[in-house]
Amino acid sequence: MLPYARRMALPGDVVREAVARALAEDAAGDDVTTRWSVPEGQQASAVVRAKEPGVVAGLPVAEEVFRQVDPGLSIRPLVADGARVATGDTLLSLEGSARSVITGERTALNFLQRMCGIATLAAAFVAAVDGLPVRVLDTRKTAPGLRLLDKYAVLAGGAANHRTDLAAMVLLKENHVAAAGGVAAAVKAVREGMALEGRDLLVDVEVETVEEAEEALRAGASWLMLDNMSSVDMRRVVELRAALAGDGTVTLEASGNVRLDTVREIAATGVDAVSVGALTHSVRALDLTLLVLGGRTPRPPDVQ
């Protein structure tokens, strides 16, 4: 099995903390516009709808927003994360305090639109390599503080996760290699460091040339990141792997400015994975809207 995550739960504590920070940032407890314009006690129905086609991700996060704003709201997701929606489809319905719905609107949409945008782009990249034995991976180029949400959205779109943090595996990039004195020296130092700390992690080495790839293979790297290589050179590295590590224990990953119009050509070189920073670092939010469908003011109690 290839060494990257294809499934990941969305941790409840991470969601609660992210939502709490976002609501505090928005001063949701002091929404003066809503408090002064919407009558206290006004009840309403509302829906979140898609204004364009896409893949859904982040419904549990949107639900948590409304729960923290008002535990009395009735929240009903109408689709599941990972589902494809068309323009006009309803993702979520709400019933309860109109003030609470409106106060939570922007924060819920901010999370949901970003996560749906990531899932939608991930699904497009996965579709572009359909039929090829390759996985589309994300990177650590995520929104600070929202990494697990971003990576969960990648999974909802059908792609896979690369390392979640700096401790998950060794990834020797060009600056590590330069500071260590070369590829072989960097791998050797890492192996020694792992032995001293009693740890055993995958060692990924970023290489830019076929020569560096051969050096990394001979040094015992378990994963090579082929950075901005031409398709011709990537095929040469695939052949080198077969010659030097034919048992299939070395993963080859293509990386660097991968686009939708180039990913299939890259995947067809024989690499195992293609990492795409754009999945999370420059995603376009999916266009969603929250609409209040109607409000009703409770009848005042009878005066005795």
Among all residues, which ones are annotated catalytic? 106, 141, 173, 206, 227
Contact 89, 291 (CB under 8 A): no
Q: Is residue 54 within a helix (H) or strand (E), and if so which, with residue range?
A: strand 54-55
Q: How many whole angstroms separate alpha carbon 165 and alpha carbon 290?
A: 34
> CA–CA distance from 254 to each of 91, 133, 201, 277 (Å)?
35, 13, 20, 12
Joined together, the tokens standing for residue 120 give 């939608």
Q: Which pairing describes strands 251-255 and 273-275: parallel, antiparallel, or unpaired? A: parallel
Joined together, the tokens standing for residue 51 give 């204004």
Contact 151, 8 (CB under 8 A): yes
Contact 238, 252 (CB under 8 A): yes
Joined together, the tokens standing for residue 63 give 């639900």
Q: How many whole angstroms separate alpha carbon 10 and alpha carbon 61?
A: 9
Which has the closest alpha carbon to 55: 80, 38, 77, 28? Answer: 80
Which has the closest alpha carbon to 54: 123, 150, 155, 152? Answer: 123
